[in-house]
Amino acid sequence: MANEVMMQSFEWDTDGSGDFYKKLKKDAKTLKENGIDGLWLPPMTKGGSDMDVGYGVYDLWDLGEFDQKGTIRTKYGTKEELLDAIDSLKKAGIKCYADVVLNHKGNADFKEEFKAVMVDQNNREQDVSGEMDIEAWTGFDFKGRAGKYSDMVWHYYHFSGVDYDVKSDTSAIFRILGDGKYWDEDVSGEKGNFDYLMNCDIDHDHPEVREEIFKWVDWFIDETKVDGFRYDALKHISSNFIHDLSDHIINEKGEENFYLFGEFWQHNKEEIAKYLETTDYNIDLFDVPLHFHMQEASKSMGNYDMRKIFDNTIVADFPAQAVTFVDNHDSQPGQSLDSWVEDWFKEIAYAMILFRKDGYPCIFAGDYYGLIGEVKTEAKYDLINNMLKVRKNYNYGEEDNYFDDPSVIGWVRRGDEDHKPLAVLISIKDMAEKQMFVGESEAGATYVDLSGKNEDITIDENGNGVFTVGPGAVTYWANKESL
Ligand code: CA
């Protein structure tokens, strides 16, 4: 299906009363009618409490089924409600993608003593202590699950690092020692070696860990019937492990159409290229460079050079691998990767992901419904729904760019046999106009601004239109007869 769009269904402060899955089930048909074809669901696994957003994974096998960490349900509901929601979403024609957190585990059941060294926070290749005996929360026996689905008990040797020694009451990064044990080498080189992110860092080299996670994905996919994975924290996980796991899902398990994409929070082009290659181009990546360009432009007081906004982005360099997005649960105000795109720029940003030829756009629930935590924002529900309609009706054919002015850029999707053209114009500074060619067959046609801001214009006898915009706005235009 052409022009598919996915949505990240949650933000950091999404309501935690346990009704989330029930609400998804109820909303399934409406979401599809609004133009949402795929939904990135929050982590389904049990975390530290019924308020855990899902990234403090405690038990991969508990999807809201067992009484563990003081709760049966997760923040979002019970396993039964989850499966019910997925069933309804799929029946409505929406693909469901699971957020899969494999870098770490937290909220352990018991403490263990073992040998470790303290490393430099900013260079994890550098030890700053000798071998020491530490005590840390690294034991997981999942008593509430009592061995159902898997009887693996996790111990310190299944992990490569922790960040707290109970014995000396010290918070620091400790590398766990053992025969041939070290950080995973094929991870981001930031901070020397960025294997360690948080909690108990899973050692993906350990054969028991590998076996357990491979077994878990088979079970998880069969159990939930999801259509894909959004891998969390990829730059902190062995890329060879992710390669093997993805290869297993697609080739051994035979899920040929399973959609894999991930968070590789990185804007270095070489690192992105290397990652895509290492994982056999099986994994699409969020366009992090484009997100940062949007944020920078939104904070530039109109001084960003818009001609360069797509330079060195994933959608420009690897168009078939790009999941384009504006913001997410980490980039929202106050979160770990806080890099929020300013409000006035949001419609411009959404035009840049929804009205382009390339990229699988991902809408953020925090924009769609508005943020509801400490920082509140207005819902852009009607605005985005209108843009989704424009995408479905007009975003087809060749793409002609008019990137000839630092503050005013435009482009035309030329349409195809079944669809009329779409002209898009952005000005981040003053009121502006730009002549763009929509097609000879459009001569004499009236074009209407679907963003509802400006007066109709007439296409001249050569197929050119002089489109208007601004200040600090986007307009999008189509043939009035085709509405
Ligand atoms: Ca790691």
- Please check whether residues 373 and 419 belong to one and the same domain: no
Order of all β-strands in the sheet with 362-364: 322-323, 284-286, 259-262, 228-231, 95-100, 38-41, 6-8, 362-364
For the segment 316-322, the average pLDDT, to the nearest whole number, is: 96
Q: How far is the CA of 199 from the centre of ligand 1 (A)?
A: 10
Q: How far is the CA of 201 from the centre of ligand 1 (A)?
A: 5
Residue 305 lies in a domain: yes
- Of 41-55, 260-274, 421-435, which gets the smallest average pLDDT? 260-274
Q: How far is the CA of 125 from the centre of ligand 1 (A)?
A: 14
Helix (H), strand (E) at residue 139: strand 132-139
- Please check whether residues 289 and 423 belong to one and the same domain: no
Any residues with CB less than 8 A from the CB of 361 and at least 6 apart, and which? 5, 6, 323, 324, 325, 353, 354, 391
Residue 28 lies in a domain: yes
Q: How far is the CA of 191 from the centre of ligand 1 (A)?
A: 13
Rounded to 10 degrees, what is the CA torsion of 266, 270, 274, 275?
A: 10
Domain count along the chain: 3
Residue 301 lies in a domain: yes
* 198-234 pLDDT tens trace: 999 999 999 999 999 999 999 999 999 999 999 999 9
Q: How far is the CA of 248 from the centre of ligand 1 (A)?
A: 20
Q: What is the pLDDT of residue 1?
A: 58
Closest Cα to residue 424, out of 461, 445, 382, 453?
453
Cα 171 to Cα 162: distance, rounded to the nearest angstrom: 9
For the segment 7-31, the average pLDDT, to the nearest whole number, is: 97
Output the CA torsion sign for 294, 299, 301, 303. Answer: negative
Q: How far is the CA of 376 from the centre of ligand 1 (A)?
A: 33
pTM over 0.75? The answer is yes
Residue 333 lies in a domain: yes
* 287-301 pLDDT tens trace: 999 999 999 999 999
Domain hosting 423: range is 399-482
Residue 1 lies in a domain: no
- Please check whether residues 322 and 464 belong to one and the same domain: no
- Please check whether residues 282 and 387 belong to one and the same domain: yes
For the chain, what's the residue count? 483
- Please check whether residues 186 and 214 belong to one and the same domain: no
Q: How far is the CA of 312 from the centre of ligand 1 (A)?
A: 27
Q: How far is the CA of 235 from the centre of ligand 1 (A)?
A: 8
- Please check whether residues 11 and 29 belong to one and the same domain: yes
- Please check whether residues 324 and 378 belong to one and the same domain: yes
Q: For 200, how many CA atoms within 13 A lie in the half-sphere containing its CB?
A: 25
- Please check whether residues 19 and 53 belong to one and the same domain: yes
For the segment 418-438, the average pLDDT, to the nearest whole number, is: 98
Which position among 52, 65, 184, 263 bears the catalytic label?
263
Residue 42: DSSP 8-state: P
- Please check whether residues 213 and 88 belong to one and the same domain: yes
* 93-116 pLDDT tens trace: 999 999 999 999 999 999 999 999
Share of the chain above pLDDT 70, in %: 100
Residue 270 lies in a domain: yes
- Residue 232 bears catalytic tag: yes
Structure tokens that stand for 276 in this block: 């895509």
Residue 177 lies in a domain: yes
For the segment 335-352, the average pLDDT, to the nearest whole number, is: 97
Q: Is 70 exceeded by the pLDDT of residue 431?
A: yes
Confidence of residue 444 (pLDDT cuts 50, 70, 90): very high
Q: How far is the CA of 463 from the centre of ligand 1 (A)?
A: 56
- Cα separation values, 475 from 3, 244, 449, Å: 20, 45, 6
Q: What is the pLDDT of residue 2?
A: 80
Q: What is the CATH number of the domain that holds 406?
A: 2.60.40.1180
- Residue 263 bears catalytic tag: yes
Q: How far is the CA of 116 from the centre of ligand 1 (A)?
A: 16
Q: How far is the CA of 76 from the centre of ligand 1 (A)?
A: 26
Confidence of residue 266 (pLDDT cuts 50, 70, 90): confident
Beta-carbon neighbours within 5 Å of ion ligand 1: 103, 195, 201, 236
- CA-based R_g, the chain, Å: 24
Confidence of residue 376 (pLDDT cuts 50, 70, 90): very high
- Please check whether residues 216 and 364 belong to one and the same domain: yes
Q: What is the CATH number of the domain that holds 191?
A: 2.40.30.140
Q: How far is the CA of 200 from the centre of ligand 1 (A)?
A: 9
Q: Is 109 helix (H, G, I), strand (E, B) or coil?
A: coil
Other Cβ atoms closer than 10 A to 127: 13
Residue 466 lies in a domain: yes
Q: Which of 373, 394, 415 is the last residue of a domain?
A: 394
For the segment 404-417, the average pLDDT, to the nearest whole number, is: 98
- Please check whether residues 156 and 298 belong to one and the same domain: no
Confidence of residue 190 (pLDDT cuts 50, 70, 90): very high
- Please check whether residues 309 and 221 belong to one and the same domain: yes
Q: Which of 339, 367, 394 is the last residue of a domain?
A: 394
Q: Which of 394, 426, 445 is the last residue of a domain?
A: 394
What is the average pLDDT value for the chain, to the nearest integer? 97
Cα 215 to Cα 218: distance, rounded to the nearest angstrom: 5
